[in-house]
Amino acid sequence: MASRTIENYLKQLWLEQQDTRGKYVPMGKLAALVGVTAGTATTMVKAIADSGLAKYAPRAGVRLTKAGEQLALHVLRRHRLLELFLVEVLGIDWSDAHGEAEELEHVISETVLARIDSLLGHPSVDPHGDPIPSSAGKFETLELCSLAELNTGNATVIERIVDQSSEFLRFAQSSGLVPRAQVVIEHTNPQAGAISARPAGKEPVMLSMVAAAKFLVRPCNARRGKRRNRRPVPPVSP
């Protein structure tokens, strides 16, 4: 069994290598994500590679093997099911669930996880709209675009929020910008780099393009003029 330290490395690696088909994750990046020095990451990655869970290319970076991906997906499944459980069953605040799950994901047994899963009705997304991998390690992502890509007058439903920081989540919740909320784009101002979005039954909210890009929505009908190459897979978060 992988230690909790290694589980964390694997999960961060998976999240990071998701969008970069085939590219290696640089050591510095991984170190920052896990929260250790680069030297520590190098040492750990070599150990992980020795156990067959990753491929390590000195001075280039690291990438999970199939085995490593499977293990990472199981950790991710535990994490996201736990997040949903904490929010839905225990009433833990949305913005705190992530931190709690970060610890629990390493100690929960398969038995308990299975009970949680069935208690929640085998859900497919966590409280942030992030997809939950199946127990077989299968993982599906919807094609979504973000609030930043919509024009004035468009109406959509928020499906997913790709920022786990409690501050941002608290802001999102207090504005009414939560998964499953209907939203209308009131104004777009490309010059100012900002838009105004109004969640159904709430006050309009000003969002910078950076902030707007964190809200993934559906349907994604009307595209802004300049867009040509839609991003293939949205950035993924724990």
By the 8 A CB rule, do 177 and 195 touch?
no
Among 42, 135, 182, 237, binds DNA (CB under 7 A): 42
Neighbours of 127 (CB within 10 A): 23
Considering only residues 48 through 107, tell me which ones interact with a second copy, judged by CB under 8 A. Answer: 86, 89-92, 96, 100, 103-104, 106-107
By the 8 A CB rule, do 10 and 72 touch?
yes
By the 8 A CB rule, do 108 and 182 touch?
no
* Rounded least distance, CB 35 to DNA, Å: 7
Tell me how far apart the alpha carbons of residues 90 and 86 are, in angstroms, rounded to a whole number.
5
User: 90 is in the binding site of which of a second copy, Mn ion, DNA, none (Cβ under 5 to 8 A by kind)?
Assistant: a second copy
By the 8 A CB rule, do 160 and 180 touch?
no
Angle formed by the axes of helices 4-17 and 38-50, nearest 10°: 100
Check residue 126 for interaction with Mn ion (CB under 5 A): yes
DSSP bridge pairs for 57 = 61
Nearer to DNA, 26 or 123 (CB): 26
User: 130 is in the binding site of which of a second copy, Mn ion, DNA, none (Cβ under 5 to 8 A by kind)?
Assistant: Mn ion
Task: Give the per-residue contact string, 78-117, with Mn ion (x = CB under 5 A; - = no).
Answer: ------------------------x---------------
Among 20, 37, 174, 208, binds DNA (CB under 7 A): 37
Question: What 3-state class would DSSP assign to 199?
Answer: strand
Check residue 229 for interaction with a second copy (CB under 8 A): no
H-only helix segments in 125-190: 166-175
Among 45, 52, 232, residue whose Cα is nearest residue 141? 232
Considering only residues 111 through 150, tell me which ones interact with a second copy, judged by CB under 8 A. Answer: 111-112, 115-116, 119
Nearer to a second copy, 19 or 103 (CB): 103
Q: Contact positions toward Mn ion, by CB under 5 A?
A: 8, 102, 126, 128, 130
Q: Contact positions toward a second copy, by CB under 8 A?
A: 86, 89-92, 96, 100, 103-104, 106-109, 111-112, 115-116, 119
